């Protein structure tokens, strides 16, 4: 469902506008990932410089049964690989800034990943490429998630900027968001460290 607008009345977000009509809400939660900045702009919320970055992943066969292998990551080599469906998935840890979109895997990044793998672990040269894809990892400038009520538009709640750890951190961030939405405070994490107000300019 495409969001076309956010209704704001007397400084408070009250509804999401879609092609099928308006959805009234006590809180409008902005969990739009790479599109969070665009959704915030629809509400007239405080601008936060969230930037999506493309990350490429490739899955390939190896001449070993890799199902029980651990994940291996090397910051020095800018590479990680891990078991995936009997083979391995690999990423060259690319971070290409781009506009929010449905990204495609970067063949140059795939080639770089295999070059790095050949240097790090020559025995893992791919036998057959199964599939490749890309995703967007969206970061705030300080690379800390943005969770909390917007300082400009009341009732507009940010839940964005989780970078490449959205799935892993979603249980905790969901609890923090629930605490803030229901109780107005949280004991689980320093709310001020996550608050969108930290980007407010004087």
pLDDT one-digit tens code per residue, 3-41: 999 999 999 999 999 999 999 999 999 999 999 999 999
Alpha-carbon distance of 200 to 48, in angstroms, equals: 8
pLDDT score, position 191: 82
Domains and CATH numbers, the chain: 3-50+141-199 (3.50.50.60), 52-137 (3.30.9.10)
The pLDDT confidence band at residue 201, using thresholds 50, 70 and 90, is low
C-alpha dist (Å) from residue 181 to 9, 139, 149: 19, 23, 8
The string of pLDDT tens digits covering residues 88-98 is: 999 999 999 99
Q: Which residues pair with 138 in a beta bridge?
A: 52, 163
pLDDT score, position 65: 87
pLDDT score, position 77: 92
* Selection from 134, 156, 158, 149 nearest residue 49 by Cα: 158
The string of pLDDT tens digits covering residues 128-187 is: 899 999 999 999 999 999 999 999 999 999 999 999 888 888 999 999 999 999 999 988
**What does DSSP assign to residue 35?**
G
pLDDT score, position 202: 44
3: Cα separation from own chain's centroid: 19
Question: What one-character-per-residue DSSP string does 178-201 give?
Answer: HHHHHTS--SSS-HHHH-GGGG--
The string of pLDDT tens digits covering residues 50-97 is: 999 999 999 999 988 899 999 999 999 999 999 998 899 999 999 999
Alpha-carbon distance of 42 to 82, in angstroms, equals: 39
Structure tokens at 122: 């020559």
3-state helix, strand, coil in the chain (%, to 5): 25, 35, 40
pTM of the predicted model, to two decimals? 0.89
Alpha-carbon distance of 200 to 202, in angstroms, equals: 7
pLDDT score, position 126: 83
Say if residue 189's pLDDT is above 90.
Answer: no
């Amino acid at each position: 469902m495409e969001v076309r607008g956010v209704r704001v009345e007397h400084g408070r977000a009250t509804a999401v506008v879609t092609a099928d009509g308006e959805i009234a809400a006590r809180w409008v939660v902005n969990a739009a990932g790479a599109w969070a900045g665009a959704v915030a702009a629809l509400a007239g919320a405080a601008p936060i410089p969230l930037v999506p970055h493309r990350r490429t992943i490739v899955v390939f066969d190896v001449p070993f049964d890799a199902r029980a292998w651990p994940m291996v990551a090397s910051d020095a080599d800018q590479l990680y690989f891990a078991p995936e469906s009997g083979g391995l998935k690999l990423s060259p840890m690319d971070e290409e800034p781009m506009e929010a979109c449905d990204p495609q895997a970067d063949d140059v990044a795939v080639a770089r990943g295999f070059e790095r793998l050949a240097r790090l672990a020559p025995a893992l040269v791919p036998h057959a490429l199964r599939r490749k894809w890309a995703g967007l990892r969206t970061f705030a400038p300080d690379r800390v998630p943005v969770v909390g009520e917007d300082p400009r538009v009341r009732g507009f709640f940010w839940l964005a900027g989780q970078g490449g750890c959205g799935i892993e951190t979603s249980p905790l961030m969901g609890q923090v968001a629930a605490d803030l939405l229901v109780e107005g405070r949280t004991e689980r994490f320093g709310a001020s460290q996550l608050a969108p107000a930290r980007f407010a300019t004087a």
